Amino acid sequence: MRRLENSPPLRSREQLETWVQEFEDQEHCIAGRITVAPQEDSGDQDTGLVIVRLRNATASIFMGARGYDDPMWQLTITESPEELKLSATDLTSLAAELVVAGNLCTFLQWKSLEWDRKSGQRNAAAPSSAGASSH
């Protein structure tokens, strides 16, 4: 696979670990465990993959940018091997874990956009469009 010119840099595992630690340092109530697993891209770079291992379900949540040059992040919830039976309290706890995962994904997306903006990469990669406004 050939490298795209003017694309935002991939997120290194070290960078993602720093951002996850920053999120955790903000004292979010995290029931499960957040890790950054190594994931090499086709150019042999260690890009990292953020994983939330849920405490109240056997599933895990993987998160990352939607694509190489896409600043938006997405979550993937793994399929549970069995039917999930929960009490009302367990369901509430699982819902809280999902909210934290959504907050982490939003935080990582914001950090990525901020990093791209500061590095100048996002402006170089973004096609100009008439009527677009910057925030």
The confidence score (pLDDT) of residue 68 equals 67
pLDDT at 120 (0 to 100): 64
The confidence score (pLDDT) of residue 46 equals 62
Q: What is the pLDDT of residue 123?
A: 47
The rounded average pLDDT for each run of 10 residues, N- to C-terminus, in the chain (135 residues) is 49 89 88 84 69 90 80 87 89 93 94 79 46 42
Predicted model pTM: 0.75
The pLDDT, as a whole number, for residue 42 is 59
Angle (deg, nearest 10), helices 13-25 and 88-119: 120
Rounded distance, CA 77 to CA 44, Å? Answer: 26
Which residue, 4, 1, 11, is CA-closest to 42? 1
Res 65: pLDDT: 81
Residue 72, pLDDT score: 85
